[in-house]
């Protein structure tokens, strides 16, 4: 097998990503910026017409705040589900700037805020998204989770590759159905090169993936520059191509930055899991 190295791509020139910007405190939906999914999917030879998976990009926002007509502040937490079939991903820094624009804006109710979020984010993604807003009285409904499966992080391996290298993946002749977990996934933001930290769950059935090879492969993303959503799709496609499982789920939960975390879910056999936070989130 030959290494399948990610192909570089250029971002659309109209985006202000990576440039210095001021923070606006009054509602401004134009702050949202989209990135076409095709920029990455073309290099993986997939498109909306032949996606090998279904799922969502699950966002959790912890710093949503606005003013009532009386001027009294309100706070909330929200979940946003962007389908993988959307033509665009929502760029995370623009998402943060957009949320900040609510801070000194007046709205009549949480229902109004929820409706505005849903409309603006759907427009940015290019398809209908789902938004759930939780006020403080509903925070008890937001759960923590402990993934069940085999954690592979304690395997003693030697590592010298820190760019994605799919040739590291190896399978054995026996078959397996298992859930493998690693907390060692790290990549870098495509724009700022800031570190993106994640835990990742891989559930599959098919030829048994050698655990040490999978761990080495996941660690190989450590110096790779790519968006969260793109990294997960690359991992999914590499596993399908080089390990050929019958069933496959790849679910990464990234730690938050600027009050947002991103949790891409991709599967060919099961529905998106509940948005339960892990300890690092």
Q: Which of 56, 196, 238, 261 is catalytic?
A: 196
Provide the 10 A C-beta neighbour count for residue 113: 22
Half-sphere exposure of residue 180, counting CA atoms within 13 Å on the CB side? 23
Q: Find tokens 């401004």 and name the residue.
A: 28
Half-sphere exposure of residue 194, counting CA atoms within 13 Å on the CB side? 11
DSSP secondary-structure letter at 8?
A: P
**Cα angle at 60 between 58 and 63, to 5 degrees?**
155
Say if CB 36 and CB 87 are below 8 A apart: yes
Q: Which of 80, 118, 124, 189 is catalytic?
A: 189
Half-sphere exposure of residue 136, counting CA atoms within 13 Å on the CB side? 5
Q: Say if strands 88-90 and 34-36 run parallel, antiparallel, or are unpaired.
A: antiparallel
| Annotation marks residue 189 as catalytic | yes
Half-sphere exposure of residue 106, counting CA atoms within 13 Å on the CB side? 5
| Annotation marks residue 118 as catalytic | no
Give the catalytic positions in this structure.
189, 196
């Amino acid at each position: 097998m030959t290494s399948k190295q990610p192909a570089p791509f250029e971002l659309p020139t109209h985006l202000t990503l990576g440039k210095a910007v001021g923070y606006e405190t009054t509602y401004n939906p134009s702050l949202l910026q989209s990135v076409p999914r095709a920029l990455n999917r073309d290099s993986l030879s997939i498109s909306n017409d032949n996606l090998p998976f279904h799922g969502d990009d699950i966002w959790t926002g912890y710093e949503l705040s606005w003013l009532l007509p009386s001027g009294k502040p309100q706070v909330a937490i929200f979940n946003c589900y962007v389908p993988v079939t959307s033509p665009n991903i929502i760029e995370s820094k623009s998402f943060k700037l957009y949320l900040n624009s609510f801070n000194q804006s007046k709205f009549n109710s949480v229902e109004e805020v929820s409706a505005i979020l849903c409309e603006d984010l759907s427009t940015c993604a290019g398809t209908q998204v789902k938004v759930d807003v939780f006020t403080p009285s509903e925070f008890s409904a937001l759960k923590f989770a402990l993934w069940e499966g085999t954690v592979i992080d304690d395997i003693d391996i030697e590592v010298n590759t820190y760019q994605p290298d799919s040739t590291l993946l190896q399978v054995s002749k026996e078959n397996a159905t298992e859930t493998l977990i690693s907390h060692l996934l790290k990549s870098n933001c495509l724009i700022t090169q800031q570190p993106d930290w994640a835990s990742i769950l891989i559930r599959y059935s098919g030829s048994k993936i050698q655990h040490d090879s999978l761990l080495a492969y996941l660690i190989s993303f450590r110096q790779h520059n790519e968006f969260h959503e793109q990294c997960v799709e690359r991992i999914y496609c590499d596993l399908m191509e080089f390990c050929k499982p019958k069933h496959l789920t790849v679910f990464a939960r990234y730690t938050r930055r600027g009050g947002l975390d991103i949790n891409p879910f991709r599967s060919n056999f099961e529905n998106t899991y509940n948005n339960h936070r892990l300890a690092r989130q």
